[in-house]
Amino acid sequence: MNVAILGASNKEMRYANKAQKLLMEKGYSVFPISRKGQDILGTTSVRSLNELEVPIDTVTVYVNPISLKGLVGDIESLKPRRVILNPGTEDKESEQRLSDTGILVEKACTLVLLNTGQFG
C-alpha cells in the first residue's frame, strides 16, 4: 500500500516522523511530502502531492487546518482511497469537500491505527 505523508518532517520528535518510521517498519511504501523537499529517514521527499508519480491509497495529514484548506484540491486530484486527519489537522470544510468527492475521511491517529492493527 502506498501512503503519502502530508507534512512529513525529519525531526524525530514530530508525529509525522514517528508515523513514517512505523509505516516503513510495517512494510508500507511511504512517500513523504515536505515543503523543504528533504530526505527523511532515507526516503526522498517531494514538495507537493502533485509531484507524486504513483497511485496513493492513503494520505495521512500532519499539517494545520489552514494549510489543509489550501491542499484539498491537490488531494482531490491525487484521488486516494482515504485521507487520515490526525489530531489537530481537522477542518470541517476540507473534510466535507473530500467526502463529497468520494474519498473516505478518517479522523484518527495514524500511530494508534498502526499500533492496534487497524491501519489497513
pLDDT tens-digit series, residues 21-33: 999 999 999 999 9
What percent of the chain clears pLDDT 90, i.e. is strictly above it?
A: 96
* Cα gap 40→106, rounded to integer Å: 25
Residue 22 exposed, middle or buried by CB count within 10 Å (0-12, 13-18, 19+): middle
User: For the domain with range 2-115, which CATH number is right: 3.40.50.720, 3.40.50.150, 2.60.40.10, 3.40.50.300?
Assistant: 3.40.50.720
pLDDT tens-digit series, residues 71-103: 999 999 999 999 999 999 999 999 999 999 999
Asked if 110 and 60 touch (Cβ cutoff 8 Å), the reply is yes
